[in-house]
Structure 1
Amino acid sequence: MHSRTLRPKIVVAATEHRQLLAMAAGGSSVAAETLLDEMERAHIVPDAKLPTDTVRMGSRVQYRTSEGDLTEVTLVYPSEADISAGRVSVLTPVGAALIGLRVGQSITWLARDGKKHVLTVLSVIQLESVR
């Protein structure tokens, strides 16, 4: 699975797309470049039309890695990130990979150590209080 790069179609709500595009364009890190790339290829929909099984800001996401690890995180903006509390910034390699994915989709992402990984989204819960 590591030999092939998986880049499924992603969908992002219009309001979040604008915010994330501006954040990524203003950054200079590899993660910011990755997020910018993801935002440029995303299919943008009105906020109310975003499917509920789509990873968006504030979503609680459970995913499985290609190594078989099961992980659950909440995708947040950088100022809200706290890895010990399971809040992962969208400006990290895994955060940028998660945004816009739907349940059942898999994506290849490059970790900070330079290794390719694959993750598959298993569930998405929209946390109303975070939006």
Structure 2
Amino acid sequence: MKLSEELQTAHIVDEEEMPSDVIRFNSNATVAFESGVEKKIQIVIPMDKDFKNNKISILTPLGSALFGYSKGDTVLWDFPSGKQNIKIIEVEQEATLKDIDMAI
């Protein structure tokens, strides 16, 4: 429900216009929780989720909480266990086939 609300205010932009520090599909993000725990995760489509390899679905509470935010942002999100602040420490993008072709 919350993700649906967030998508209502979303803006569609070309990949070239998207800042590299914005979390989107296949982004790797290092996040810090209020407890002090830092975790590196990758936001993926549901069929690519793999908890053992820190790949979380966009449809999970954490995945939808982070989507569209940038390095340095703090996100207050209402998880099933209660509200938590999540600080985005770092964002890295996976190399795409287009990036690989341009490098060759």
TM-score (normalizing by structure 2): 0.86
Instruction: Indicate the percent of aligned positions where both proteins have the same amino acid.
Output: 28
Residue in 1 that maps onto 2:90 = 123
Gaps of 5+ in 2: 99-104
Distance change in 2, residues 1:130/1:120 (3 Å): farther
2:46 corresponds in structure 1 to: 78
The answer for the alignment partner of 1:19 in structure 2 is: none
Query: Would you say 1:62 and 2:35 are equivalent positions?
Result: no
CA deviation string 1:57-104 (max 9, x = no partner): 000100111221101100001111111110010001110011001100
- 2:17 matched to which residue of 1? 49
Any gaps of 5 or more consecutive residues in structure 1?
1-32
Structure showing greater Rg: 2
Structure 1 position 40, deviation (Å): 1.3
Task: Give the Cα–Cα distance (whole angstroms) in 1 for the partners of residues 7 and 25 of structure 2.
Answer: 13
Alpha-carbon contact 1:58-1:130 (below 8 Å) kept: no
- State the alpha-carbon separation in 2 of the partners of residues 104 and 44 from structure 1: 22
Alpha carbons 1:61, 1:72 under 8 Å: kept: yes
- TM-score w.r.t. length of structure 1: 0.69
Number of residues paired by the alignment? 98
Aligned pair 1:93/2:61, yes or no? yes
Please state how far the C-alpha of 1:37 moved relative to its aligned partner: 1.3
Counterpart contact for 1:55–1:102, Cα < 8 Å: yes
Structure 1 segments, 4+ long, off by >2 Å, are: 41-47
Give the Cα–Cα distance (whole angstroms) in 1 for the partners of residues 31 and 37 of structure 2: 8
What CA RMSD, in Å, does the superposition of the two structures yield over aligned residues? 1.7
Query: What secondary structure does 1:101 align onto?
Result: coil
User: 1:62–1:124: 8 Å Cα contact kept in structure 2?
Assistant: yes
Which residue identity is paired with 1:124?
V
